[in-house]
Amino acid sequence: MKLSTSGLLARRGGLGNIVGWFIRVVIYDICITGISDILGVPRMVALVIFLGILGLIALGGYIMQNKYASGTADRDF
């Protein structure tokens, strides 16, 4: 049984995953470039700022999840 190239791509997630990855990279690059231009800092500093913002968003989501979902985990259904 021989798989064609398109069959192999479809089996591993397809071309859509590759395109989605490139779109994410472009969006992140636009955000980092925007931070760099607005604040007048080098791109590496803008990258650290961007990662810090993402970390704060993740931390806020984690805290809210624990705050609002902590009472529901103890209930018996």
pTM score over 0.75: no
Q: Answer whether residue 77 is part of any domain.
A: no
pLDDT at 38: 96
> Quick count: other Cβ atoms within 10 Å of Cβ 32?
19
Residue 24 belongs to a domain: yes
End-to-end CA distance of the chain: 49
Residue 3 within a domain? no
43 with 36: CB under 8 angstroms?
Answer: yes
Euclidean distance between CA atoms 46 and 32, whole angstroms: 6
| Tens-digit pLDDT profile for residues 6-17 | 555 555 678 888
- Which segment of 13-17, 26-30, 54-58, 72-76 scores lowest on mean pLDDT? 72-76
**39 close to 49: Cβ distance less than 8 angstroms:** yes
Q: What residues have CB less than 8 Å from 39, skipping those under 6 apart?
A: 45, 46, 49
Q: Is residue 6 part of a domain?
A: no
The answer to whether position 34 is within a domain reads yes
Q: What is the predicted pLDDT for the residue at 2?
A: 54
Residue 9 lies in a domain: no
- Secondary structure of residue 1 in the 3-state scheme: coil
